[in-house]
Chain A
Amino acid sequence: MSAKMTNSQGVETITAEGSSDPRPVLMLAEFETADLLMEAATGVRDQGFRLWDCHTPYPVHGLDQAMGIRPTLLPWLVFGGGATGFTGGLLMQAWMNAVDYPFLISGKPFWSIPASIPVAFELTILLSAFGAFGGMLLLNGLPRFYRPHFRSDRFRRATADRFFISIDGRDRQFDVQANSELLTGLGATAVEVIEE
């Protein structure tokens, strides 16, 4: 699995087994409460970090502002899905019942708007929902089954009752010494570095 080491400042280092040249890829800092996390997030944001994130067991309101996250594009994807569903639904019915195989039922017109609305409406909803769900996966890069976070045992509580800040090793300001001091100063109860 992985080896663990703790340095003099109490920063725990978790190294992936079998990596010949271990380099830090992630720093995790644990916080007790959402309020502490919120303050710390503001602090990390103000330092100018870019590749960093907060991990919470439920969506903490106000954290988006504290982190400076921009509004998502998702509604446009949903709108695109809905528009496709509606026009596609109407065209499908017109083509199938009036063009490809004109189909006369009880003297009704081959194609009319009112009779086509229910199916077009349902397809609008269906494709919008695909847009919402698929767009959420796409924009979040899910599914992604491996993440360095999962090497940390402490991080398991991020989905239950603890709050975390993670800083990616690829961030320009990433520096084990300086960042761990920053995070401890912001109220982190534990800081870990993941190496692989």
Chain B
Amino acid sequence: MKQLLDKLSPIMRPELTGNAESPEIDNTAYLPDARQPLVTGENDNTTITDKVCQIVEQKPTVGWWMFFLLSLSVLGLLGVFIPFLIFWGVGTWGVNNPAGWGYAIVNFVFWVGIGHAGTLISAILFLFRQKWRTSINRAAEAMTIFAVICAGMFPGIHVGRAWFAYWMFPIPNQMELWPNFRSPLLWDVFAVGTYFTVSLLFWYMGMIPDLATLRDRAKHSVRKVAYGLLSLGWTGSNRHWHVYERAYLLLAALATPLVLSVHSVVSFDFAVSQVAGWHTTIFPPYFVAGAIFSGFAMVMTLLVPARQLFGLKDVITLKHLENMNKIIMLTGMLVGYAYAQEFFIAWYGGVKVEKFAFINRAFGQYAWAYWIMVSCNVLSPQIFWFKKMRTNITVMFIVSIFVNIGMWFERFVITVTSLANDYTPSAWDYYSPKLADVTILIGAFGLFFTLFALFCRFLPFIAMTEVRGVMAEKARLKSPPPQQGASDSASEDSAAGS
């Protein structure tokens, strides 16, 4: 993996000014009396700005075009199969009685869950003053936005008559009907809608100063106008920073309960119903933990190649990756605990159908899916107990893929096993997807990666302002005489890891 990436790098990344060659510095060692630097190498405000802006300013590379066109062609599947679905109706999917919910809701829950890591990184870690978030929050928030776009697509197309999708919203209509506010599916509309809007505001607001940097560096008039409009005339005024920082803090404080509520509300879609295996009180926290788990895995999947190809190893260091791996391991164990707890309660609760539902999950007709889920989600992250493994690029990339797969199967197992074998054995069936299910699932990945490729190309990949702030703080803490601070701290930084 590492060799492969190294070999690919020359065609994949822009002609950066030498910093793309920066070696992997191990800054994960525990120091008893100091903190490891969050930005390694000899970097200051100037080099960080150059490094991040060059990704956007230089001509797209062959590698970028390859990635973009590949994603775009996979996205083309949606262009074919969504009209197909709308024309022929949801009968083109594998859903039927008794399994009336299939890939659409599985994908919806999967993608909403992916988004949660972005908000956790940008909001919750901000409130906890975790400075390491600054290097990864922009990309993670972008991932959130794109994942929620993918998620939002599914409720829109699964309603059967997609042209009536607006009935989900409380809009006055000729029938004088309103939506039913006692339904968790409607809570979902508000939860996901709010989540998307707030995430977008948070992402955009965080980006305004960085867009101003791009505006001030722009040479081409189209770029000047585009970034000029997007940056709203930002001058870095301290009177503005004062209000801005307060607004950012408040948005973080609002996004924190929001992100916890969103997957809780998503879990209500299941938990409020009477279906055995769904009607459990553990669902909200279990879904939230799973969401953060899967989201961090997706952040890892995106950032491991990106830091290499864009020459950002100094900014997204091994320590950042290790921290994320620790969170993946923790949330993976939370999810594993929830799996175990569900079984315990099914036995302890003494409800026959409930007991059956869980035994059927593990040993019934979908046992293969259940054990894929357990081995990917519970077993594979256990490798991160070993430091050597959680600082190994190849291992973490592979585990992140496993977790992505496992978390998709988690939603599949929850949705399908309980429906396919419900209360009436005579109605039991085996749900399997059809062509339109699979192509729309794959096409959603195309949409996600296309948007991500465009983001890499046109928007600042790293929150430059925040990284500058973190570096300034570090320099101030490190150097008793302020004059020598810059050079001293830089050399110490590069020496510290060896």
A interface residues, Cβ below 8 angstroms from B = 34-35, 41, 53-61, 63-64, 67, 69, 72, 74-75, 78, 92-93, 96-97, 100-101, 103, 105, 108, 112, 115-116, 118-119, 121-123, 125-126, 128-130, 132-133, 135-137, 139-140, 142-147, 149, 155-161, 164, 166
B466 within 8 A of A: yes
Q: A97-B181, A161-B44, A161-B46 are in contact. Are A58 and B238 (CB under 8 A)?
A: no
Tell me the minimal C-beta distance from A62 to chain B in angstroms.
10
- Can you add 20 more A-B contacts, CB < 8 Å, to A122-B261, A137-B232? A57-B468, A59-B244, A60-B241, A63-B241, A101-B178, A108-B182, A112-B182, A122-B194, A126-B198, A132-B247, A135-B243, A136-B244, A136-B246, A140-B237, A140-B243, A142-B234, A146-B233, A160-B46, A160-B213, A164-B236
- Residues of B248-280 whose CB lies within 8 A of A: 250-251, 254-255, 257-258, 261, 265, 268
Cβ contact within 8 Å between B178 and A129: no
- Complex partner residue of A118 from B46, B191, B247, CB under 8 angstroms: B191
Are A132 and B254 touching (Cβ within 8 A)? yes
Partner pick for B209 among A78, A146, A159, CB 8 A cutoff = A159
Residue among B49, B184, B233, B251 making CB contact with A142, cutoff 8 Å: B233
Chain A residues with Cβ under 8 A from B492's Cβ?
none
Interchain residue pairs A-B with the least CB separation, the first 5? A143-B232, A136-B247, A161-B45, A96-B178, A156-B216
Q: Say yes or no: A143 contacts B217, CB within 8 Å.
A: no
Q: Mark B163-199, 1 if CB is under 8 A from A, else 0.
A: 0000000100000111111111011001101100110
User: Hey, which chain B residues are within 8 Å of A137, CB to CB?
Assistant: 232
Q: Which of B44, B237, B265, B472 contacts A58 (CB 8 A)?
A: B472
**Is the contact region of chain B dominated by helix, strand, or loop, or is it mixed?**
helix
Among A56, A119, A136, the residue within 8 A (CB) of B187 is A119
Task: Given A75-B246, A96-B170, A159-B216, check contact A126 B180 (CB 8 Å).
Answer: no
Q: Are A157 and B246 in contact (CB under 8 A)?
A: no
Q: Beta-carbon contacts of B39-50 to A below 8 Å, as 1s and 0s?
A: 000001110010
A133:B247 contact, CB within 8 angstroms: yes
Residue in B190, B209, B238 whose beta carbon sits within 8 Å of that of A64 in the complex: B238
Q: Which residues of A contact B193 (CB under 8 A)?
A: 122, 126
Are B238 and A133 in contact (CB-based, < 8 A)? no
A35/B236 contact (C-beta < 8 A), A57-B213, A129-B201, A160-B213 known: no
CA distance A140 to B236 in the complex (A): 11
Asked whether A34 lies within 8 Å of B178 as measured between CB atoms, the reply is no
B220 at the interface (CB under 8 A from A): no
